[in-house]
Amino acid sequence: MRNLYKKDVDLTTVDNLVSGTLVPCKVIAAPLSAGTGILPRGTLLTAAAGGSYGKATGTDVHGVLLLDIDISDADERVGAPIACSGEFNQNKIEEAMDATVAIGTILNGRARQIYIAPMEPAPESF
């Protein structure tokens, strides 16, 4: 298991993944399918065999990953936080998925109360 110590744990940055007024009210801790590399926050997930979740490759979407998870680490992928409802920024999801989100994915997500739409961050006040 890797060392989870972070000296700047009290500092946060806003990435605007969660957008709108409908916050993720259904968040589950679920296992992710084994693989290599890191799934970034904002990755769209779909249900896989055995009750685990994996990166969505088609238009079927069951949730949005809320943390960066190293899926090659068996301990880290056990209870990944997955939002199963809410409003999410399409720009951040496309950045995490490294692909354009298809309209079919957006429509299938809406059927599961996962709303995906482009959102530009509010300008900073001076």
pLDDT tens readout for residues 74-123: 888 898 999 999 999 999 999 999 999 999 999 999 999 999 999 876 66
Note the residue count of the chain. Answer: 126
Section 9-36 average pLDDT: 82
Strands 86-89 and 114-117: parallel
**Confidence at residue 77, expressed as pLDDT on a 0 to 100 scale:** 87
- The tokens describing 108, both together, are 């299938």
Q: How many other C-beta atoms lie within 10 A of the C-beta of residue 6?
A: 8
Annotation: CATH topology of 27-117: Virus Head Decoration Protein; Chain: A, (2.40.300)
Angstrom CA distances, 32 to 22, 71, 92, stand at 25, 7, 20
pTM (whole model) above 0.85 = no
Residue 53 pLDDT class (50, 70, 90 cuts): very high
Domains in the chain: boundaries: 27-117
**Confidence at residue 93, expressed as pLDDT on a 0 to 100 scale:** 96
